[in-house]
Structure 1
Amino acid sequence: MNELDQKINTHFPGLVVRKDLVKTVKGNAIVPSYVLEYLLGQYCATSDEPTIQTGIETVKEILAKHYVHRNEAGLVRSNIKEKGRYKVIDKISVDLNDKKDVYQAQFSNLGLKEVLVDSGTVKKHPKLLVGGVWCIADLEYEFTEDKSASPWILSTLKPIQLSHFDFDGYVEARKQFTTDEWIDLLVQSIGFNPEMFGKRSKLTQLVRLIPFCERNYNLIELGPKGTGKSHIYSEFSPHGILISGGEVTVPKLFVNNSSGKIGLVGYWDCVAFDEFAGKQKRVDKALVDIMKNYMANKSFSRGVETLGAEASMVFVGNTQHTVPYMLKHSDLFCELPDKFYDSAFLDRIHFYIPGWEVDIIRGEMFSNGYGFVVDYLAEILRSLRNHDYSDRYKDHFSLSSDISTRDRDGINKTFSGLMKILFPHGGATKEEVEELLRFAIEGRKRVKDQLMRIDSTYGNVRFTYQDTDGRAKPVTTLEEEEYPGYYHKTIAEGEDGEILEAAQPDSPQGPSEPLAPAEPVLKEKHLTFQENQKGLSFDTLLGPYLKGATTITVTDPYIRLFYQVRNFMEFLETVVKHKAPDEEVSVHLVTTEDEFKGEQQKDNFEKMKEAACSVGVNFTWEFDGTGTIHARHIVTDHGWKISLDRGLDIFQHYEMNDAFTFANRLQQCRPCKAFEVTFIKTGESDNDH
């Protein structure tokens, strides 16, 4: 266990579980994670290894004996008949049979219908009536001669979710963790290894939790396949339900006017629509209209009366195209079905998660550290729905008066959700508040900027905020920084139907100005890059400033681990690409020796020296013996110093062993870490170039 895992176990004893155990016990049971973690929480919520092993065996035994596999349903039914009574784990839903005036349960895996349930159970657990609930239930079999009577009786039923928790204890324990430790604990609770994610990517993952802790929060995430968009809504909480986008009907979602029965929004905290994108999908226009009204006013009508509900709406779907393609040819909502591609509907979305920034899930991204038993966290998030943290930035910042009420609502709800998740106890510094506020503004700006493309009646909005001294601070989206040429175009249709592109006035182009025009004019400058920004490479960033140098000195204390050495090799490639074939260049590296793998490090450098020699690069290195070097910079003999705050380590983790990913082959396909670079003219050059 690392330090964080020990701390988690100390402050949340009995409420956390090792996240890799879920896979260990799951086997071939098709059951949500929160069901497994409920059982693991009963038997394995400890750091004591022998107890964990015993607990795993107990949980496996419980699943083997009581979880109903569909193909073994007949055997289980026979067991119940022979024994008279038996415990099962299954998903149970209940209907009222009004002809007989009784409630009847259906067991989805066991294949039983019309099992009698008493009214008290249904009153206690109303969710049984909508969508069904995973339960541990005792079933009895009592045969009677009466043909109309069912022999199956449900004697006891216990939903698989936490019965009680201590909210004040949770808030107190939160105070023992730094912000970074707390974020890592939450990322581990979701099941991911926090070391694989940068800060922005962690926040993106945590935004997926806001619908569980914020009432009537409308969230959309569109991005490539395989990034885990729907996982949280199906596996994470007993208070959320995931439905296929194609199966949604007005009666199922809101109200059945003939029976008066309320739909999903009346019972669940979060209703998520899977596979929401797809131009060809047929959608009921009436459903879109009711959803628009519900998402704006939190209410829907049943015949003559109007009903309110608190369910948050989440829409997840896959995109077919790259971001620059979508920005050039249409907009970031272009994949949605026509009926939902409606500016009034889209304007009600509070935050757009940029799914293209989320890594495709790989095996090593899963955590084997400790995280909350998910139904404990689900109950905490649910209780936070009663709080409002949306004004917590107002002591330090105010939103620009340009920003409309609807934009403000979206920003405030996202900010409130993130504050509840990260700072339930208060205690955020001004910088931390500002970071969350900027993130909340960016997610709403992404929605609004696309709306202005779709519908020309939306006016231009400056998404800025002021701090207490009145200075305006603008917020941009990451794709705006990466593709300013495409982002600031409005798209209108010509008379004969062709698409005309009218470029808007140039936007202030920050770090995304073209870095390498044909013959770049080299000038002193300072550039800042955001986490997850793509399109960067050593060739475009550093190449022009290395061209013409005959001696280059790189100072970087962290060229030790394999990926760091590989980065340096890619730097040497850039040197080779920017020198003439008939020239030779000397590259000298000053770094520190790895205390554990120094021999391997030297061996790697020797191999690079040999390889570089054959292409006209004389590579040498030295280890700094003082251990005092911290600066990371590149100095050329023709008058340039390039100061990199992260050295050459500017790319996020990517799959190095996979020969078939472009991130492995092309640097511009890798997401970056947040970093800054300064180009400084150092005076006269040492040669005549």
Structure 2
Amino acid sequence: MTFPEQGPEQSGPLSVDELRELNAKVSEVFKSLAIDKRRLPTSQLGGRGIPAYVAEWVLEKVVPGHGELTTAEANKVMEWAARVIPGPSEQNIIKHKLAQGQTVKVLTPLQAEVQIKKGKEPERVAQLSLLGISDAYISDGLLDEYPDLLRQGMWGVVELGALQDGAAVLSFQPMQASVNLNLYKEARRKFTLHEWRAILLTTLGFDPSAFTEQQQTWLLARLLPLVQKNMHMMELAPKGTGKSFMYENISPKVRLISGGNISPAVLFVNNANGNWGLLARFKVVVLDEVQTSKFERPEEIVGGLKGYLANGKLTRGGLHETASDCGFVMLANITLDDNQNPVKSSLVEELPKFLRETAFLDRLKALIPGWELPKLSSRLLVGTDSALTVGLKSDFFGDALVALREDLEADAYAARAVRLGGEMPYRRNEAAVRDMAAGLMKIQFPHGEVTPEEFYTHCLKPAIRLRQGVWDELYGLDSEYRQYEATIRPA
């Protein structure tokens, strides 16, 4: 079976019949990189506390195949998980086995660091957070082979053994997806825009037929920090709209912080030992539930963030400095009225006071209007009744999005095409709109083939709306911004 190149665009979202027909096309074009998204919920792997990009890797490793999982396949997966994926209550059992001289294989995130202490030989230690082990021995060979272990860490199957003074990583089988960006772009040419948008949403676990075209755009806008360097934004919505759902399950290069204590050392750098924080080690850092999070030294945090969001430089007290292209995302709940509109005149009123400073808000490029999205429920997710169930494997998709950061074709297009109107457009508005329009082009037109009309409708127009949300807050909170026009518009 072969499929033609991209044909004429449809005028709107796909019908149920068109979505059903699309399943075969996705499987044919992407082959082993496609997966039936119904397989994951029936596997019960979500209950083992692993993200979707890991769980789908497990499914392909243990029970490769198509369609929904059979009972026999589901049982086989759970038996494998019981042996290899440790639960919180199994930490001591694993340590007991190690103490008896046994080797143990576990699926876990593995992160390493090199500790240099005065007068001592450098130590290479591995951290296995699911096992409560923070000082396992790891060889130079593994660190040379998998340098990401020293960055944000990697998921994989770790074989552990015991040394006289602790545990040792004997071998490591990483969860890896090879990304060929040219093949990804070539595959995009086989689909119309509306087919492609439906595939992306299905890949994220959503049923595309459950959302309007505008709502689909806001869901896809959540991907902007993955495809664009230093894309900083916030999403405000009521509880239960799934703001963190995508970030939890998209890529190991995305770090979601939900609750707990947030300190300058965690975000920027630990001045005591020189270890860089999350913004230096990940591609995207997401703060969830910021309206109730506990911030240690909030003035230092917002001061450091203002500098970082403006120029991509991380520093703390002048002791250490580095550059980073990590995106920063804030997620917060807001109160809505009976008509599902925000109650407060200022959308940021429910944020902690130090995060309402206009000099900080101005550095955020986008505000996703999450209140326009429905509350997350089973009818919005891919399920047995969904028409389109085949999407891309999450680990491959996440890596493809991050790889698009280095593809500057869309950035060059946006630099030529985006100009804002008015006598004196605000510089940060124009830069933010240009960056977001380029990002939306990478998401929807990764092959670079877009007409001026398509770019305006699907890239520039939503980018302006996303920046307008930030601009409205600045305009209402600080008279300094009222020297510019209230409405952002293209030239």
Query: Counterparts of 1:439-454 in structure 2 under 5 Å?
Result: 439-454=462-477
User: Which of 257, 268, 284 is 2:298 aligned to?
Assistant: 284
Q: Is 1:202 aligned with 2:219?
A: no
Q: Structure 1 counterpart of 2:234, which letter?
A: I
Distance 1:171 1:327, change over 3 A: closer
Q: 1:681 is matched with which residue?
A: none
Distance 1:407 1:323, change over 3 A: farther
Q: Is 1:410 aligned with 2:429?
A: no
Q: Is 1:241 aligned with 2:255?
A: yes
Q: 1:464 is matched with which residue?
A: 489
Query: Counterparts of 1:413-432 in structure 2 under 5 Å?
Result: 413-432=435-454
Q: Is 1:13 aligned with 2:53?
A: no
Q: Distance in 1 between matches of 2:205 and 2:270?
A: 38
Alpha-carbon shift at residue 166 of structure 1 (Å): 1.8
On the 8 A contact 2:110/2:149 being kept in 1, the answer is: yes
Q: 2:348 is matched with which residue?
A: 333
Bigger mean CA deviation after superposition, 421-430 or 177-186: 421-430
On the 8 A contact 1:41/1:373 being kept in 2, the answer is: no
Q: Distance in 2 between matches of 1:226 and 1:294?
A: 30
- Residue deviations 1:36-95 (CA, integer Å, cap 9, x gap): 012224455643679x77765553332121111121233334445567323111233335
Q: Is 1:141 aligned with 2:162?
A: yes
- Residue deviations 1:409-445 (CA, integer Å, cap 9, x gap): 1111111111001101122233321112111001101
On the 8 A contact 2:238/2:335 being kept in 1, the answer is: yes
Q: Which has the larger radius of gyration?
A: 1
Q: Structure 2 counterpart of 1:29, which letter?
A: R
Secondary structure of the 1:2 match is: helix
On the 8 A contact 1:13/1:45 being kept in 2, the answer is: no
Q: 1:211 is matched with which residue?
A: 225
Q: Structure 2 counterpart of 1:15, which letter?
A: L
Q: 2:14 is matched with which residue?
A: none
Q: Structure 1 counterpart of 2:48, which letter?
A: A
Q: 1:308 is matched with which residue?
A: 323
Q: Distance in 1 between matches of 2:471 and 2:207?
A: 33
On the 8 A contact 2:335/2:342 being kept in 1, the answer is: no
Q: Distance in 2 between matches of 1:408 and 1:230?
A: 28
Secondary structure of the 2:236 match is: strand
On the 8 A contact 2:280/2:314 being kept in 1, the answer is: no
Q: Distance in 2 between matches of 1:129 and 1:444?
A: 35
Q: 1:30 is matched with which residue?
A: 49
Alpha-carbon shift at residue 232 of structure 1 (Å): 1.7
Q: Distance in 2 between matches of 1:123 and 1:323?
A: 57
Q: 2:404 is matched with which residue?
A: 384
Q: Distance in 2 between matches of 1:34 and 1:263?
A: 24
On the 8 A contact 1:92/1:105 being kept in 2, the answer is: yes
On the 8 A contact 1:391/1:412 being kept in 2, the answer is: no
Q: Structure 2 counterpart of 1:211, which letter?
A: P
Secondary structure of the 1:12 match is: helix
On the 8 A contact 1:122/1:128 being kept in 2, the answer is: yes
Q: Structure 1 counterpart of 2:333, which letter?
A: N
On the 8 A contact 1:212/1:270 being kept in 2, the answer is: yes
Q: Distance in 2 between matches of 1:362 and 1:6?
A: 27
Alpha-carbon shift at residue 153 of structure 1 (Å): 1.7
On the 8 A contact 1:216/1:298 being kept in 2, the answer is: yes
Structure-2-length-normalised TM-score: 0.86
Alpha-carbon shift at residue 123 of structure 1 (Å): 4.8
Q: Distance in 1 between matches of 2:339 and 2:474?
A: 17
Q: Distance in 2 between matches of 1:323 and 1:336?
A: 21
On the 8 A contact 2:414/2:435 being kept in 1, the answer is: no
Distance 1:280 1:286, change over 3 A: closer
Higher strand residue share? 1
Q: 2:3 is matched with which residue?
A: none
Q: Aligned pair count?
A: 458
Q: Which has the higher contact order (CA 8 A, sep 6+)?
A: 2
Distance 1:307 1:394, change over 3 A: closer
Q: Distance in 1 between matches of 2:363 and 2:29?
A: 40
On the 8 A contact 1:14/1:41 being kept in 2, the answer is: no
Q: Distance in 2 between matches of 1:44 and 1:11?
A: 22
Q: Distance in 2 between matches of 1:49 and 1:361?
A: 22
Secondary structure of the 1:409 match is: helix
- Residue deviations 1:357-409 (CA, integer Å, cap 9, x gap): 11111112111401111110111011101123134357766421432221011
On the 8 A contact 1:67/1:89 being kept in 2, the answer is: yes
- Residue deviations 1:100-125 (CA, integer Å, cap 9, x gap): 74222232232334321123434554
Q: 1:71 is matched with which residue?
A: 89
Q: Distance in 2 between matches of 1:279 and 1:268?
A: 20
Q: Distance in 1 between matches of 2:417 and 2:110?
A: 50
Q: Structure 2 counterpart of 1:12, which letter?
A: F
Q: 1:270 is matched with which residue?
A: 284
Secondary structure of the 1:414 match is: helix
Distance 1:323 1:289, change over 3 A: farther
Secondary structure of the 1:243 match is: strand
Structure-1-length-normalised TM-score: 0.62
Q: 2:16 is matched with which residue?
A: none
Distance 1:309 1:279, change over 3 A: closer
Q: Distance in 1 between matches of 2:97 and 2:293?
A: 49
Q: Distance in 1 between matches of 2:204 and 2:375?
A: 16
Q: 1:354 is matched with which residue?
A: 369
- Residue deviations 1:221-274 (CA, integer Å, cap 9, x gap): 011001110122222211100113652211211112232221111110000011
Query: Counterparts of 1:122-137 in structure 2 under 5 Å?
Result: 122-125=143-146, 127-128=148-149, 132-137=153-158
Distance 1:458 1:324, change over 3 A: farther
Distance 1:406 1:357, change over 3 A: same
On the 8 A contact 1:323/1:332 being kept in 2, the answer is: no
Bigger mean CA deviation after superposition, 85-94 or 16-25: 85-94
Q: Distance in 1 between matches of 2:465 and 2:63?
A: 41
Q: 1:399 is matched with which residue?
A: 420
**Residue ranges of structure 2 left out of the alignment (5+ in a row):** 1-18, 384-388
On the 8 A contact 2:39/2:67 being kept in 1, the answer is: no
Q: Distance in 2 between matches of 1:382 and 1:325?
A: 34
Identical aligned residues as a percent: 29
Q: Structure 1 counterpart of 2:24, which letter?
A: Q
Higher helix residue share? 2
Q: Distance in 1 between matches of 2:98 and 2:371?
A: 50
On the 8 A contact 1:130/1:263 being kept in 2, the answer is: no
Q: Distance in 1 between matches of 2:334 and 2:322?
A: 35
- Residue deviations 1:533-557 (CA, integer Å, cap 9, x gap): xxxxxxxxxxxxxxxxxxxxxxxxx
